[in-house]
Amino acid sequence: MKILVCDDDITTTAYLDGMLRKMGYVPIVCNTGNEALLFLACEEPPKMAIIDWVLPDISGIDVCRNVRNSKTLLSLHIILLTSNNRPEDLAEGLAAGANDYMTKPFSAIELEARLGVGKRIVSLQSEVKTLTGLLPICAWCKKIKSDNQSWVKIEDYVKDRTDASFSHGGCPDCLQRVRQHE
Amino acid sequence: MNRKQQTTGDPSPIDEDVVMHKFAGDTGICLRVILSFLSNYEAQILAMDQALAHQDLKSLHRAVHTIKGSVSTFSTTLVYKTALTMELMLKENRFTEATGLHSGLKAEIRAFAEYLKAFQTTLEAEAP
């Protein structure tokens, strides 16, 4: 999974780059807020970002606000890096659109744990997207084309992706048709 | 004997065991990050000097903040604390007091860099 890392301090980016690679992620490193927005505007943007609060051009907070104004980046999971640990600062960061925050200095254990949370949320969001997006449905049998390209019954498709379960019954129109048939 | 004692025998600005824990025991990553710090700290000091020479409070605040962030990758003791104090003073527009810490902070950063160089040598000697 690609992760955007934005910090103007090269010691911090070197640390994040090394640790993220070790954890199996693919870091994309930049040093300014505007660079971050450029990377996020690409065709396949990263699904997670670690952004420092204090940047040389626009602040990490401004990057968060920009991202939340973009429909295509609504689901980007942003971890804001900050050395401010006052509750007011954290509230401001989260209100601006960050999903989580890490206070500098942070350890590899904390980094891995917070990325794990982010990964879980990104994965859940992608499931939700499947249910809210355009679903290819067979015009005759009403089966749905699933992610692995196989056709599955609509109730199985929904059951696999939600907590819903189905009880079988008959609607008045179908019941009438069946009776006429008999 | 811990790593700190192995390197210098003196009280050090960092606890090397804590640092290695932070790097999840990965000597290679730790060495790369030390190199990043060593290749950059003089530029950070220069940025601080220039901001001070131009009485540019905003740039000075940012330079000190960046130094604090760099150092915190390894330690939250002496240099970190001085940078934090200076940053807070600048945030509160206590420019004169903050500039009083400038020379001391520079000396501490350079001493810290020397310590990291020694640590780098120790790690390189240990590397397979």
Chain A interface test: which of B19, B38, B48, B65 (most A C-beta within 10 Å) = B65
Q: What is the DSSP letter of A71?
A: G
Cβ of residue B58 closer than 8 Å to a chain A Cβ: no
Q: What percent of chain A has pLDDT over 90?
A: 62
What local confidence, expressed as pLDDT, does residue A26 receive? 97
Cβ neighbors of A17 (< 8 A, separation 6 or more) are A5, A27, A29
Q: Which residues of A touch B37 (CB under 8 A)?
A: 11
* Nearest residue of B to residue A107, measured between CA atoms: B22
Q: Does A11 contact B62 at a Cβ distance shorter than 8 Å?
A: no
A–B: how many Cβ contacts below 8 A?
61
Residue of A nearest to B73 (CA): A105
Q: What is the pLDDT of residue B128?
A: 67
Q: Would you call B85 an interface residue with chain A, using a CB distance cutoff of 8 Å?
A: no
pTM: 0.80
* CA nearest to A21 within chain B: B29
CA distances from A152 to A62, A131, A144, A169, B39 (A): 44, 14, 5, 20, 58
Q: What are phi and psi of A80, to 5 degrees?
A: -90, 130
Of the two residues A81 and A168, the one the predictor is more confident about is: A81
pLDDT for A128 equals 76
pLDDT digits (tens, 9 = 90+) for A136-160: 999 999 999 988 889 999 988 888 8
Q: Is the pLDDT of residue A63 over 60?
A: yes
Higher-confidence residue of A126 and A144: namely A144
- Nearest CA to B3 among B118, B114, B108, B80? B118
Find the helix or strand (DSSP H, E) in which A179 lies.
Answer: helix A172-181
Whether the Cβ atoms of residue A32 and residue A56 lie closer than 8 Å to each other? yes
Pick A10's closest partner by Cβ from B40, B65, B76.
B40
Taking only the tens place, the pLDDT of each residue in A4-49 is 999 999 999 999 999 999 999 999 999 999 999 999 999 889 999 9
CB neighbourhood size of A9 (10 A): 27
* Mean per-residue pLDDT pooled into runs of 10, chain B (128 residues): 47 78 92 96 95 92 92 87 93 90 94 93 85
Closest by CA to A11, choosing from B49, B41, B114, is B41
Which chain A residues touch B68 with a CB distance below 8 Å? 83
Q: What are the chain B neighbours of A104 within 8 Å (beta carbons)?
A: 69, 72
Angle at A15 between CA A11 and CA A19, to 5 degrees: 170
A interface toward B at CB cutoff 8 Å?
7-15, 18-19, 22, 52, 54, 56, 83, 104-105, 107-109
Partner-chain contact A104 B32, CB within 8 Å = no
Residue B87 CA: distances (Å) to CA of A8, A91, A171, B64, B94: 17, 21, 71, 6, 10
Secondary structure element (H or E) that encloses residue A51, with its range: strand A48-52
Q: How far apart are CA A175 and CA A179, in angstroms?
A: 6
- Determine the length of chain A: 182
Q: Which of B18, B23, B58 to mutate to test the interface with A (most CBs of A within 10 A)?
A: B23
pLDDT for residue B11: 56
The predicted-structure confidence for A78-120, as pLDDT tens digits, reads as follows: 999 988 778 888 899 999 999 999 998 888 999 999 999 999 9
Q: b or e along A100-138 (b: 16 or more beta carbons within 10 Å of the residue's beta carbon)?
A: bbbebbbebeebeebbeebbebbeeeeeeeeeeeeeeee
Confidence (pLDDT) at B127: 72
Query: Using CB atoms, which residue from B24, B62, B73 is nearest to A12?
Result: B73
